[in-house]
Amino acid sequence: MLRDVEEMSTSDTAHVLDISEENVKVRLHRARALLRKSLYARAGMERKEAFNFHAVRCDRVVRNVFERIQKHVLKTNASAPKMQ
C-alpha cells in the first residue's frame, strides 16, 4: 500500500515498516501476484478476451498513423520557405 498507493520510495517504505528494502520489494511482488490472481479469478473465462491482441487492427492503426505523419511532413516541407 505504501509503495503503490501512497507512492513512497522503497527506502522510505522500508524505514516506516522497519524492514529491509529487499523485503519491501518481495512483499510488493507477492501482493501484486495475489491481486493479479484475484482479478483473474473474478474475471473467470472472460480474462482471455480482456487481454486479446488484435494484430491486424493494430497494424492498420499504426500504418494509418504513419501515413498521416508522412503527409503532414510533406505538407509542412512544401509550404516552408526555401533557403538559398
Report mean pLDDT in 10-residue bins for the chain, 84 residues. 83 92 93 87 68 75 92 84 66
CB-count burial class (<10 Å; 0-12, 13-18, 19+) for 5: exposed
Q: What is the per-residue pLDDT for 52? A: 66
* pLDDT confidence of residue 20: 95
Q: Looking at residue 4, what DSSP letter applies?
A: T
Is 24 in contact with 14 (CB distance < 8 Å)?
Answer: yes
